[in-house]
Structure 1
Amino acid sequence: MHALIVIAHPDPRSLSHSVARHVAEGVSLSDPGNSFEIADLGAEGFDPRFTATDLAVHRRETPPSADVAAEQARIDRADALVLVYPVYWWSMPGLLKGWIDRVFANGWAYDEGPDAKLVKRLRHLRVHLVAIGGANLRTYARHGYFGAMKTQIDHGIFDYCGASVVTSELLLGSETQDPASQLAAARAIGGNLFKAPLRGAEAA
């Protein structure tokens, strides 16, 4: 089994990068036959700007540009997609959101048109979301932030494409706590990437 681990953080020394590496370590330890690829969107220079070309792709007027097609191919090679990102303004960073905006395009992630019923094309894909936040759990609970994030990201993005969100984890206290527990959690997530079954509808 193969995992694509996508990270969106500009500092390679960050906790986000360490978490991504520990997820990868868990993948390797769970089964010697498993493999992974880490896609560092910042280091790779992915352009998150949604352009007129991307709009034409959405309208099914032109094929995806080369950079988008390359990202879609990386996801196609994966059995699991892992997104590791810091929480910015109670959501994901603009770099990662732009990656989703451009890559999860009409005609690849789903099929939709004015005279056609929505077809979800990513029913085979396991998705694992690992968000890293600086606030404490009490803050998230009091304001309903985590529930809002799950509605926006888990349901609003991935359910729309049919992908099964197996893990939706929020690792908190990134600015105040010793990272050991967060890194251990990341390793455990990696070890379980392929063990949880897809939801019934997606597995059919």
Structure 2
Amino acid sequence: MHALIVVAHHDPRSLSHSIAAHVAEGLSLADAGNSFEIADLSEEGFDPRFSAADLAVHHREGPPPADVAAEQARIDRADTLVLVYPVYWWSMPALLKGWIDRVFANGWAFDFSSDAKLVKKLRHLRVHLVGIGGADGGTYERHGYANAMKTQIDHGIFDYCGACVVTSELLLESETQDPTVHLDVARALGRDLFTTSQRCKMAG
């Protein structure tokens, strides 16, 4: 099976990149037959700005731009999508949000029109979310940030398209805790990636 691991951080030395690499390492150790691709959105220079061409796609008035079509093809090749990102202001970075804004487009991720019922087109896709935050768990719980993020990301984005969010992790205290703790979690996630993804198939 094949996983697309998307990382959205400008610094290749960041904990986000290390976590993405450890997810890949765990996946490789689990089964030599598995494969993965790491998409480094910053290094690849993906443009997250939603343009007039993207709006035309939404209105079904034009084809997706070449960079969007390429990202959609990468996801189409994958059985599982893993998003690794730092938490900025209690959500994902603009780079990753813009990737979703442009790539998860009408006609590919879902079909919507004013005179027809919504069709969710990514029911085959399994998603794992790994957010990396500096605050502690008490802060997330006390202010409702964790639930808010699940509502806007897990439900608001992926459920809308029919994709199943298998795991949704928040690796917290990233600036004060020994990074080994988070790297071990990432490796374990990679090791069990396709095993846990079966849960969606059974539930469906």
TM-score interval for Structure 1 and Structure 2 normalised by the shorter chain = over 0.9
The residue type paired with residue 111 of structure 2 is D
Give the match's secondary structure for 2:3: strand
Counterpart of 1:27 in structure 2 is: 27
CA contact (8 A) 2:126 2:200 kept: no
CA contact (8 A) 1:133 1:171 kept: yes
Structure 1 alignment gaps of length 5 or more: none
- Number of equivalenced pairs: 203
Shift of 1:193: 1.1
Give the match's secondary structure for 1:17: helix
CA contact (8 A) 1:48 1:99 kept: yes
Shift of 1:166: 0.2
Counterpart of 1:43 in structure 2 is: 43
Shift of 1:199: 2.9
Shift of 1:114: 1.2
CA contact (8 A) 2:48 2:98 kept: yes
Give the match's secondary structure for 2:157: helix
Q: Does 1:132 align with 2:163?
A: no
TM-score (norm 2): 0.97
CA contact (8 A) 2:16 2:132 kept: yes
Runs of 4+ off more than 6 Å: none
Counterpart of 2:175 in structure 1 is: 175
Shift of 1:192: 1.2
CA contact (8 A) 2:133 2:174 kept: yes
Q: What does residue range 105-120 of structure 1 map to in structure 2 within 5 Å?
A: 105-120=105-120
Mapped to 2, the partners of 1:101 and 1:146 lie a distance apart of 22
Q: CA offsets per residue over residues 175-194 of structure 1, 9 Å max, x none? A: 00110110000001111111
C-alpha RMSD of matched pairs (Å):
1.1
TM-score (norm 1): 0.97
Q: CA offsets per residue over residues 65-115 of structure 1, 9 Å max, x none? A: 000000000000000000000000000000000000000000000001111
Counterpart of 1:189 in structure 2 is: 189
